[in-house]
C-alpha cells in the first residue's frame, strides 16, 4: 500500500517563487518611473489651486476677480492684487519641478483670472521636471468655463 504525503516538493516551491518574481518585475515596471511622482504631485496641486480660485471667485459678492499667478516654482491665488488668505497659498511646487502658464488672452498671457461665474481665459499650464525628475512633464488644459484637466 502506497502512503500519500501532502505538501509540495522543493522544485514546485522554487518554480512558484520564480513565477511570482517575474510577474512582480513585469507589473511594477509598467507603473512608471518613480521620478514622475514629483511632477504628478505638482500637477494635482495646481489643479486643486485652479478649483480653489474658481470656487472663491464664485463665492465673493464683489464680483470675482480672483487670479492665479505662476512663477517658476510657485503658484499664488490673488484677489485684486492681494494674496487670498489660505493656509496653502502661495504654493511651492516640489523640488525639481518648474511651471509655465500661457493663456489665450494676449494681454494677461500668464494669469488665469476668474469672474463671478467661475469663468476664465482658456490656456495651458506646463510642468517640467529637472534634476531627479528630468525628462518628465505634465500638461494641464484650462477651458474658458474654468474646467481644468490633465492631458
48-102: per-residue pLDDT in tens?
A: 999 999 998 888 866 668 888 888 888 988 888 788 876 778 888 888 888 988 8
Residue 107 has pLDDT above 80, yes or no: no
| Contact of 36 with 133, CB cutoff 8 Å | yes
What is the model's pLDDT at position 63?
63
Q: Is 50 exposed, middle or buried (0-12, 13-18, 19+ CB in 10 A)?
A: buried
Which contacts qualify for 17-21: CB closer than 8 Å, 24 or more apart? none
Residue 33 has pLDDT above 70, yes or no: no
**Which stretches of 30-82 are DSSP H helices?**
37-59
For residue 143, is it left (φ>0), alpha (ψ between -120 and 50) or beta? beta
What is the model's pLDDT at position 60?
80
Residue 131 has pLDDT above 80, yes or no: no
Rounded Cα gap, residues 94 and 98, in angstroms = 9
What is the model's pLDDT at position 61?
67
Share of the chain above pLDDT 70, in %: 87
What is the model's pLDDT at position 16?
94
Residue among 140, 133, 119 nearest 75 (CA): 140
Ordered structural domains, the chain, with CATH: 35-150 (3.55.40.10)
Residue 132 has pLDDT above 70, yes or no: no
Amino acid at each position: 500500500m502506497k502512503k500519500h504525503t501532502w505538501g509540495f516538493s522543493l522544485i514546485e516551491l522554487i518554480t512558484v517563487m520564480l513565477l511570482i518574481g517575474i510577474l512582480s518585475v513585469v507589473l511594477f515596471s509598467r507603473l512608471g518611473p518613480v521620478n514622475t511622482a514629483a511632477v504628478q504631485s505638482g500637477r494635482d496641486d495646481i489643479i486643486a489651486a485652479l478649483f480653489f480660485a474658481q470656487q472663491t471667485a464664485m463665492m465673493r459678492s464683489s464680483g470675482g476677480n480672483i487670479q492665479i499667478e505662476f512663477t517658476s516654482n510657485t503658484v499664488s491665488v490673488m484677489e485684486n492684487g492681494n494674496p487670498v488668505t489660505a493656509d496653502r497659498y502661495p504654493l511651492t511646487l516640489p523640488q525639481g519641478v518648474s511651471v509655465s502658464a500661457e493663456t489665450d488672452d494676449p494681454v494677461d498671457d500668464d494669469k488665469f483670472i476668474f469672474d463671478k461665474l467661475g469663468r476664465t481665459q482658456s490656456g495651458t499650464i506646463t510642468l517640467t521636471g529637472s534634476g531627479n525628475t528630468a525628462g518628465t512633464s505634465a500638461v494641464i488644459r484650462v477651458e474658458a468655463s474654468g474646467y481644468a484637466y490633465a492631458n
